[in-house]
A = this chain, B = another copy of it.
Amino acid sequence: MKALVYQGERDVAVREVPDARIEEPTDVLIKVTATSICGSDLHMYEGRTDVEPGTVFGHENLGEVVEVGDAVVRIRAGDRVCIPFNIACGFCRNCDRGLTGSCLTVSPGMDGGAYGYTGMGPYRGGQAELLRVPFGDVNCLKLPEDSIERELDYVMLADIWPTGYHATQLAGLEPGDSIVIYGAGPVGLMAAYSATLLGAANVMVVDRLPDRLALVEKIGATPVDDSAADPVEQVMDLTRGAGADRGCECVGWQAHDPDGTEHPNQTMNRLVGSVRATGGIGVVGVFVPEDPGAPDRLAREGQIAFDLGAFFQKSLHMASGQAHVKRYNRQLRDLIAADRARPSFLVSHQLPLNEAPQAYRHFDDRDRGWTKVVLRP
């Protein structure tokens, strides 16, 4: 089958690889019909991780079931399904509690697993023609029969929408709250979109790229340009000096100022400054336990200089980590099916699989207008 393969720093290619196939009796095999490129794929693409050449990328996958293992009872060939990026067993201590992003089974010795991602287990990605889905009964989200017409919406359920949504839940968002989201990339935009759907009164999104800020405005949120003025002060002004009830970190450790210098603690400390006393912060932007290439001693060891004194004085809380996609994907699917949500507003490009290398290049360069790419194998 054809698949997108990592060959080295900023070098990916579509190549022939052995077909994905049923390996365990609980597996499901799908023909991939939509698979998107994620911002976190770029960490690997840029050579910022230890990903091995030959890896097939792709953890935002949707397709049609072509075969199921002997032990599969819920899913059948012909079902159209969307696959959460986290792989879950459904029966470990964490999965039992709905914490499927930290499954203890699928990547022994680690918490959680994913498709086509370094450090997340031996699972091949879905930027390919076929994908093996382990524990298929657990991991396949069935889509409505007419889903084929709205695959661009449904493929957002694999990662990006649940991840943005998770940010708002980690922050403790309640209806009527104000919320500030740092980062208007795909995750930040999905967090803002979720906040709006959940009844937030005031949704502010901080970024500096004009096309992103325009999208913020388009979904009815308030853009905050941090290249124009201190975003903390802007948030204070927008909330009459109170601060936001909630805040989301959707940037991660590679936060940088407009001239490109990285400040891994920048958004976290701005969030501590932006959120009012007793408020909450949700962190879905990625931070890593070590970053050997970082210019800064703290960053190399996975630390940031964190305003814990202010955090404590304000009695704040924060929660972090990858989204437990299965916690949200049924309900979000139902919002799409009921025509109450259209997350595909985010998608800027649909391309065949063999144009994936160009798509990676444009997306990595943050080329204007390349917000989100969906590949169609």
Total chain A interface residues with beta-carbon distance under 8 A:
83
The docked-state distance in angstroms from the alpha carbon of A199 to that of B335 is 8
Question: CB distance A94 to B308 under 8 Å?
Answer: no
Residues in B neighbouring A17, C-beta threshold 8 A:
none
Quick check: B338 and A202 within 8 Å, CB to CB?
yes
Alpha-carbon distance A316/B320, docked complex (angstroms): 6
A331 at the interface (CB under 8 A from B): yes
Q: Cβ of A308 and Cβ of B315 under 8 Å apart? A: no
Check if A268 sits within 8 Å of B308, measured CB to CB.
yes
CB A33 to nearest CB in B, in angstroms, measures: 23
Q: Looking across the interface, which residue of chain B has its beta carbon closest to that of A305?
A: B303
Which chain B residues border A98 with CB–CB below 8 Å?
96-98
Give the complex CA separation of A26 and B89 in angstroms.
13
How far apart sit A325 and B232, CA to CA, in the bound complex (Å)?
31
Nearest CB of chain B from residue A42's CB, rounded to whole Å: 18
B290 touches A309 (CB 8 A): yes
Q: Which stretch (A47-55, A66-74, A124-132, A349-357) binds chain B? A: A66-74
Query: Chain B interface: which of A171-179, A181-189, A208-216, A363-371?
Result: A171-179
A101 within 8 A of B: yes
CA distance A165 to B209 in the complex (A): 39
Per-position binary interface string of chain A over residues 328-340, scored 1 when its CB falls under 8 Å from any chain B CB and 0 otherwise:
1011111101101
Q: Kindly list chain B residues whose C-beta atoms are within 8 Å of the C-beta of A326.
A: 96
> CB distance B94 to A278 under 8 Å?
yes
Nearest-CB distance from A130 to chain B (Å)? 21
In the complex, chain B residues whose CB is within 8 Å of the CB of A257: none
In the complex, A310 has a CB within 8 A of chain B: yes
Which listed residue (B176, B303, B319, B332) contacts A331, Cβ 8 A? Answer: B176
Given known pairs A277-B111, A315-B322, the reply for A24 and B309 (CB within 8 Å) is no
Q: How many copies does the complex hold?
A: 4
Let me know if A374 is at the binding interface, CB within 8 A.
Answer: no
A360 close to chain B: CB less than 8 A: no
Say yes or no: B315 contacts A99, CB within 8 Å.
yes
**Residue from the list B71, B322, B338 in contact with A71, Cβ < 8 A:** B71
Q: Counting CB contacts under 8 A, is A91 at the interface?
A: yes
User: Which positions 126-171 of chain A face chain B at CB distance < 8 Å?
Assistant: 137-138, 170
Question: Do A102 and B277 touch (CB < 8 A)?
Answer: yes
> Can you name 30 A-B pairs with beta carbons within 8 Å?
A25-B71, A70-B70, A90-B137, A93-B330, A96-B98, A96-B326, A96-B330, A97-B278, A99-B315, A102-B315, A111-B277, A111-B315, A112-B277, A174-B331, A176-B330, A177-B331, A201-B334, A201-B340, A202-B334, A287-B308, A288-B309, A302-B308, A303-B305, A304-B308, A305-B306, A312-B321, A314-B321, A316-B321, A317-B317, A318-B318
Interface on A for B, CB 8 Å cutoff?
Answer: 24-26, 69-71, 73-74, 89-99, 101-102, 105, 111-112, 137-138, 170, 174-178, 197-199, 201-202, 253, 264, 268, 277-278, 283, 286-291, 298, 301-322, 326, 328, 330-335, 337-338, 340
